[in-house]
Amino acid sequence: MFGVEGLMKKDFLSILDLSRDQAQNLLKRAAWMKENDFRSNILEGKTIVLLFEKASTRTKVSFEVSINHLGGHHVFMTPADSQLGRSEPLKDTARVLSRYVQGLVVRTYGQKNLEELARHGTIPVINALSDEYHPCQVMSDLLTIHELTPDFEMLKIAWIGDGNNMAHSWINAAARFPFKLHLAVPRGFEPGRDILKRAVDLGADIKITHEPREAVHEAHYINTDVWASMGQEEEQKTRSQAFAGFCVDEELLKEAPEEARILHCLPAHRGQEITDAVIEGSSSLVWDQAENRLHMQKAILEWIFKQVQAQ
């Protein structure tokens, strides 16, 4: 589909929207942008709508600053600010906003919402989080890893916790980068079978276990997230029982290499999925992760809008 200014429209709904080469190049470009405090005018004269159904700190601010650094403007909207709160069809919203602005950054519940906006709109759509995927976060996490160990070939990355949108995006990432991914999840909280099968069919090296100690053994990076995501608050008590033993604490880290580094996308429930001592410890990379949202999102925005004119 052709989008604004006669360009081929790009959407970023999951990491699999990137080829292997594009994914690798985004890491290198974001690292260069960070090193050089990059600014540009690629979004000059363009307005991007941030359409958020879910609350946010890092995603909202990092995208707003990214758009500003690239010379653009943004409009922030929640369902209360739009007809989405009154059940206007998404296809109508997509077609109307396509007449006003040049891009959509969407934080929503259903992945199908993003797909419908992308299908009916003529402007790029970026997934800022859905219940199924969180691609901007995981690409930023990969940037954090890339800064310390740019050769992914020998890496083992461990995921401890829920088979949620973050786990799904790590699974997709394993289909684009040559690291080993071991996920330790409680029984009944495994990642989506279709998502896992697709990644394995694409060549991903993934293992699922129900034992956190097995996952962290020989892991270079250990990653976790909250046990109950937004919209799952009523399940908190049940999940706390199911996830007993899945806390990234000092005891679990005894099973990992001494040099293993810790990742958490934040916000963290300290004392549940991770202890205060670990997140504040010398192995923690969580603040670099948070900063890298800014640099990776600038690289994603540039990739989307720096296109060759359609013939």
Tokens of 224: 């976790």
Find the catalytic residue in 58, 69, 134, 261: 134
Find the catalytic residue in 29, 58, 69, 107: 107
Count of Cβ atoms closer than 10 Å to residue 163 Cβ: 21
Find the catalytic residue in 74, 146, 239, 293: 293
- DSSP reduced 3-state for 212: helix
How far from 268 is each of 20, 118, 228, 249, 306, CA to CA, in Å? 31, 31, 11, 13, 35
Find the catalytic residue in 225, 261, 295, 297: 225
Is 307 annotated as catalytic? no
Tokens of 117: 């906006």
Is 92 annotated as catalytic? no
Find the catalytic residue in 24, 102, 137, 297: 137
Find the catalytic residue in 29, 162, 265, 272: 265
Nearest-angstrom CA–CA distance, 252 and 42: 46
Nearest-angstrom CA–CA distance, 229 and 226: 6
Count, residues in the chain: 311
- Backbone phi, then psi, for 136, in 5-degree steps? -65, -40
Is 213 annotated as catalytic? no
Is 99 annotated as catalytic? no
Instruction: Return the residue matching tokens 């079978």.
Output: 193
Catalytic residue IDs:
107, 134, 137, 225, 265, 293
